[in-house]
Structure 1
Amino acid sequence: MQPKLTFVQISDSHLGPTRDFEKHGVRPYDCLQRFITLFNDAPLQPDFLLHSGDVSDDGSPASYALASELFAQINVPVYFVNGNHDSVATLRRLMDANATAHSGNPDAPLSYTFDLKDERFLVLDAFSETVPQPLGFMSEAQIAFLRAETESGTLPLTVFVHYPPFEMGSPWLDEHMPITNGEDLHQALLPARDRLRGVFGGHLHRPCQTTRNGITYCTTASVAFQYTWHGWEDLPIYDPATPSGYLVTRYFDRHVVATHYSF
């Protein structure tokens, strides 16, 4: 049986201002180029590609110029989520033309919706200068935007947001990485629980899944480098043993299959 819809998700590419920029001894440009080559060589193409935040490492115009060069090689729609390392105004210029902007202000939160094959997709922006980075925060406007969808829509719904909403059991991560008011996000999702396909994000540089009240929250690996997040670690520890990765999600009428791949 063929799926109704398929999307590929990448995250946390952390492109620098030059092609030879390195982080943890890894060249993010080379990682993203390898992924794009694999993506384009696949015999079946997905319905779209979703980048769930931190396209850039430093928010520089030069890093987004490199991103534009790379994503121009993709022949399916590409959608972006704002991450804590991103420049939202510059990131917005990478947006696929099919996306519906929530605001005409280029510096406004990058929240929008799109529909495909009788499925509704909603992108939220949890970046906020009101909390220390890399924590996230859902503003009242973002919660209202979400509730407008969850309390009135009818289509199956998918939500994308860069940050995880809850603690994950690793000390530094739990103090510095989640959405500080993730409970507000969760409560706003509950009205759509019966039609919610899932909540997908990144930020952790590691695949992880959380289920609460029947809602599945899923993060994908970084397309560049990973962290360990053991339960005893009080600092982010680079994990050289775990390679770059991405997520392929397939929607069937009655279930969702999310498969992590590495390269």
Structure 2
Amino acid sequence: MTNDLRSPGRRHALKCMAWGGSGVLWTLVGGVPASKLVGAARGETTKGFSFVQISDTHIGFDKAANSDVAGTLNETLTKIGGLPERPAFLLHTGDITHLSKPKEFDDADQLIGASRLAVHRVPGEHDVLDERTGEAYLARYGKGAHGDGWYSFDAGGAHFIGLVNVLRLEGAGLGRLGADQLAWLEADLAARSASTPIVLFAHMPLWTIASEWGWGTQDSAQALRLLSRFGSVTVLNGHIHQIAQKVEGNLVFHTARSTAFPQPEPGTAKAPGPKVVPAEQLRSFLGLTSVTIRGGAHSLAISDTTLAR
């Protein structure tokens, strides 16, 4: 698959963007992940182990792109609560808050806690803006984590790995994992058989989407090489506030939309940042995407539907 963002295929993938209000429901069937937006899962019964991914809630943001980010997060959580089968946990891929303020974390915890789901998190760059660069995040969420907050756990027959790539950003803001985290990742994976499905999650994309905007991770190739022996690897990220997907060998990449506000597509604006959507067009920016990873094959089946009524 080409990495040219101007190509029709990539342009179509990046157009699968929504303004907020939908998380991603992930199901493990026989240890193989498959995804569907929460809105598309209503009335359906899933078979297998499932979890929900949300991202970029930006609690504390109150600008024109969305003056009620708590409300759109609540809408997302309401949809999750209405699922026919309860997910095992909620996975948040960063930017919980907008400015790393204690009240923003408190408000986010109160809202997300109302779901009564276990929560696994990684920080976004907006969560580590305190003077000590992430210590407040670690003090709140880092129990049992290693280094700057990376960790792993097993669930549903898969091995989950949460990475931190939002500290010590490089160049135009590209993420960075660093030597210590890469060494830990190599040791963590060494104990897993090649048949173990791996779910890797971090805030910034672990593939380069737009380097000039910092939409990538400078040393991600070193991490991805460690995953080459595994038959099923799913990589989940946030940060860009729109859906972008790629399949490369045994790797399936998926970035989630925000529950707060959209960002422009690369090439359509001078810089990333909150994108104001006219209120009357809001629902045309909400959509459903079903993504299936077929066991034994490395093909990605994608179906997109808007929520415009």
| TM-score (normalised: structure 2) | 0.69
Comparing 249-258 and 119-128, the one that deviates more? 249-258
> Which residue is 2:201 aligned to?
160
Give me the whole-angstrom Cα distance separating, in 2, the residues matched to 1:67 and 1:189: 33
For the residue of structure 1 that corresponds to 2:73, the secondary structure is helix
Give me the whole-angstrom Cα distance separating, in 1, the residues matched to 2:219 and 2:250: 19
> Which residue is 1:178 aligned to?
216
For the residue of structure 2 that corresponds to 1:33, the secondary structure is helix
User: Which has the bigger relative contact order, CA under 8 A and spacing at least 6?
Assistant: 2
Q: Which amino acid aligns with 1:9?
A: Q
Q: Shift in Å at residue 94 of structure 1?
A: 5.3
- Are the counterparts in 1 of residues 51 and 90 from structure 2 also a CA contact under 8 Å? yes
Of 149, 164, 171, 2:188 maps to 149
1:101 matches 2:140:
no
> Which residue is 2:236 aligned to?
200
Give me the whole-angstrom Cα distance separating, in 1, the residues matched to 2:245 and 2:301: 13
1:86-117 CA distances to partner (integer Å, 9 max, x unpaired)? Answer: 0344434554xxx97233xxxx4121111112
Of 69, 78, 103, 2:119 maps to 78
Give me the whole-angstrom Cα distance separating, in 2, the residues matched to 1:48 and 1:258: 24
Q: Shift in Å at residue 122 of structure 1?
A: 0.7
1:212 matches 2:253:
no
Of 138, 147, 156, 2:177 maps to 138
Give me the whole-angstrom Cα distance separating, in 2, the residues matched to 1:259 and 1:251: 13
Give me the whole-angstrom Cα distance separating, in 2, the residues matched to 1:249 and 1:74: 25
1:21-67 CA distances to partner (integer Å, 9 max, x unpaired)? Answer: 33524321111111112222323211111010000110111100101
- CA RMSD in angstroms comes to 3.2
Q: Number of matched residues?
A: 248
Q: Shift in Å at residue 224 of structure 1?
A: 1.1
Q: Shift in Å at residue 236 of structure 1?
A: 2.0
44 and 258 in structure 1: CA distance in 2 versus 1, 3 angstrom threshold: farther
> Which residue is 2:25 aligned to?
none
> Which residue is 1:34 aligned to?
75
Structure 1 gap ranges (5+)? none
For the residue of structure 2 that corresponds to 1:209, the secondary structure is strand
- Are the counterparts in 1 of residues 174 and 214 from structure 2 also a CA contact under 8 Å? yes
> Which residue is 1:124 aligned to?
163
Comparing 81-90 and 226-235, the one that deviates more? 226-235
Give me the whole-angstrom Cα distance separating, in 2, the residues matched to 1:248 and 1:56: 28
Q: Shift in Å at residue 234 of structure 1?
A: 2.9
> Which residue is 1:3 aligned to?
47
Give me the whole-angstrom Cα distance separating, in 1, the residues matched to 2:245 and 2:235: 10
Of 203, 224, 246, 2:260 maps to 224
Q: Which amino acid aligns with 1:181?
A: D
- Are the counterparts in 1 of residues 88 and 117 from structure 2 also a CA contact under 8 Å? yes
1:15 matches 2:67:
no
144 and 239 in structure 1: CA distance in 2 versus 1, 3 angstrom threshold: farther
Q: Which amino acid aligns with 1:91?
A: Y
Q: Which amino acid aligns with 2:174?
A: L
Q: Shift in Å at residue 71 of structure 1?
A: 1.6
Q: Shift in Å at residue 220 of structure 1?
A: 0.6
Comparing 253-262 and 24-33, the one that deviates more? 253-262
- Are the counterparts in 2 of residues 146 and 189 from structure 1 also a CA contact under 8 Å? no
| TM-score (normalised: structure 1) | 0.80
